[in-house]
Amino acid sequence: MARAHWGCCPWLVLICACAWGHPKPVDLGGQDVRNCSTNPPYLPVTVVNTTMSLTALRQQMQTQNLSAYIIPETDAHMNEYIGQHDERRAWITGFTGSAGTAVVTMKKAAVWTDSRYWTQAERQMDCNWELHKEVGTTPIVTWLLTEIPAGGRVGFDPFLLSIDTWESYDLALQGSNRQLVSITTNLVDLVWGSERPPVPSQPIYALQEAFTGSTWQEKVSGIRSQMQKHQKAPTAVLLSALEETAWLFNLRASDIPYNPFFYSYTLLTDSSIRLFANKSRFSSETLSYLNSSCTGPMCVQIEDYSQVRDSIQAYALGDVRIWIGTSYTMYGIYEVIPKEKLVTDTYSPVMMTKAVKNSKEQALLKASHVRDAVAVIRYLVWLEKNVPKGTVDEFSGAELVDKFRGEEQFSSGPSFETISASGLNAALAHYSPTKEMNRKLSSDEMYLLDSGGQYWDGTTDVTRTVHWGTPSAFQKEAYTRVLIGNIDLSRLIFPAATSGRMVEAFARRALWDAGLNYGHGTGHGIGNFLCVHEWPVGFQSNNIAMAKGMFTSIEPGYYKDGEFGIRLEDVALVVEAKTKYPGSYLTFEVVSFVPYDRNLIDVSLLSPEHLQYLNRYYQTIREKVGPELQRRQLLEEFEWLQQHTEPLAARAPDTASWASVLVVSTLAILGWSA
């Protein structure tokens, strides 16, 4: 799990930075937030003054004859993590949360965001901005209809609206006598001017063959073969997501945080390969690796990134059909292709192909998880010794686990911002500590660590929750119910091609049973040195059906506001299941190898099947990670691993239902069967 699902909101847990003097801040749970209802308004120091930039933006709007301008929180590739030069909404509003849309009219300015960010927005925005505590296009359009006159023009950057988002605005505005106007020059960028951070320019490099599942030539041939087999015979595939181009050519860079990608598009036609990027960033070796000096069907022509729209438009003049995945294509590309020349699927053939890992990719991803487990275990061992000393805080802890990962072979940094959360902070979805604001780890509190690494061979993501003291009965119950959810889904046997959505409730049942639940998804795909949240694999309604060779996280949780948070996340490979009667069935093989915290498991809640599963998993951890720890002379960690993977034995049941098992079973033993 990471930021884009929930975003990161450390401000929610700040100890009140008291405000001296008047006017008083609004009392919002001890937070120092703006108060626009006093005169003058109260503005905390964290607020950004946006008056000048708003005036400049409205001037730009006037030159385009716009009544309103939409500023979404995204970039041209729908990246989960976006570069600083794409943080337009944050720059114009002052509000830096990772989700939320701004709209500016000639008189008003407003931000729509979800509950994670309400306090943050009130701390960062000045009184030029209304805060709307809603999400989706409907409330925005409702507001627009009251704020702008009939005949009004609503401008937007077509590279910042996905096809779906554009359609929902278009549909909502239909018949309203307000018009959506696509403007390819971003108006915020014009105002931002020279202050706007530059686009990255580090080298784009090719992965070593040892870390790739297939050569780029094999991948190109595979996609072309899918084009040929496609009923509508597309002549080209257009790739808009950065991970698509990175995967296709086995190229990597570091243009955006946490994901090893570079700004690019690819137009793969039946007779050419056109890669749109900044050519100056390719070394001569990489250009040669790409066969970029020739012009045949297996030569990669590098064209300038900024030319993509014009080039697609020109290509679309021919007798062509361009295959796109609508989920990752922006309206700015879509609008230049005549509808009858579009072949659309939700996900491009590259996204679909990438989702199923071949045997080499599976082996690579598994290997990275073994080393990743070593780093996390080193950290857990270190915590066990140091937390009681009272010297560890969330931030220094996060730094240490990142450091341990960095010492692993093939490491290329964290795969997302480490969530290191103690006590009540762990109940905040995707909380991350800062150097300035963090909480001390303590033997009296639970601690949640959700972290992952990028390695040349794979991307990892694992969450463990621990308690070094005496957890409460409720904490143990909640932890055990989360664990049961993880186990129930991990050991589920289900027919091939079942969608994740159909089975994710198995991860929730044990919680539901007691009236508990969690508010986030149950898992997501993961890549080979690619995205930590790799679509379209996962358990949500827009994920594709499960197939052998896919990897997904399994991560139920439970969060008690103001008290604690629990999440147990593993990455699992989808494998064939052996069933009593023959059939095409799948199950999961967990490839995360970090023991759960025995201190938090209430064994009496576990069924014999759960115990059997858990002990088999412990055995696997010993077999996979033990030798690696020994090889590395990490003997203390090896000892810790042995202790924490001792087989669990059933304890006397303490619930009514298990009591009845006893009675029934004992009667059966005594021959009292019916």
Residues forming contacts to a second copy in the complex (CB under 8 A) are 138, 142, 174-176, 231, 338-341, 492-495, 498, 501-506, 509, 512-517, 541, 579-583, 585, 603, 607-609, 611-612, 648-653, 657-658, 660-662, 664-669, 673-674
In the bound complex, what is the minimum distance in angstroms from residue 290's beta carbon to a second copy?
A: 33
| Least Cβ distance, residue 346 to a second copy (angstroms) | 14
d(CA 586, CA 456): 28
Least separation, in Å, of the C-beta of 660 and a second copy? 4
Closer to a second copy by CB, 493 or 635: give it. 493
CA separation for the pair 533, 460 (Å, rounded): 10
Q: For residues 80 and 95, what is the distance between their CA atoms, to the nearest angstrom?
A: 18
Give the DSSP letter of residue 92. Answer: H
Q: Quote the least distance from Cβ 465 to a second copy, whole Å.
A: 19
Q: CA torsion 270→271→277→282, rounded to 10°?
A: 130
**What is the Cα–Cα distance from 590 to 490, expressed in whole angstroms?**
7
Give backbone dihedrals phi and psi of 530, rounded to 5 degrees, phi first: -140, -140
**Distance between CA atoms of 301 and 297, rounded to whole angstroms?**
10
For a second copy, give the closer residue by CB, 221 or 607: 607
- Burial class of residue 17, CB neighbours in 10 A (0-12, 13-18, 19+): middle
The minimum distance between CB 664 and a second copy, in angstroms, equals 4
C-beta of residue 650 within 8 angstroms of C-beta of residue 608? yes
Nearer to a second copy (CB atom), residue 85 or residue 598: 598
Beta bridge partners of 419: 450
Complex with a second copy: residue 16 or 668, whichever CB lies closer: 668
Q: Give 18 or 656: the residue with its C-beta nearer to a second copy.
A: 656
Least Å distance, CB 657 to a second copy, is 5
CA atoms within 13 A on the CB side of 218: 10
Judge residue 228's burial from the number of C-beta atoms within 10 Å of its C-beta, 0-12 exposed, 13-18 middle, 19 or more buried: exposed
- Whichever of 389 and 580 has its CB closer to a second copy, that residue is 580
Residues ≥6 apart with Cβ < 8 Å to 398: 418, 419, 420, 432, 433, 451
- Shortest gap between Cβ of 218 and a second copy (angstroms)? 30
| Closer residue to a second copy, CB minimum distance, 298 or 502 | 502
Amino acid at 555: E
- Which residue lies nearer to a second copy by CB, 477 or 637? 477
Pick from 1, 11, 14, 15: which is nearest to 118 by CA? 11
Q: Smallest gap, in angstroms, from Cβ of residue 230 to a second copy?
A: 12
β-bridge partners, 538: 524
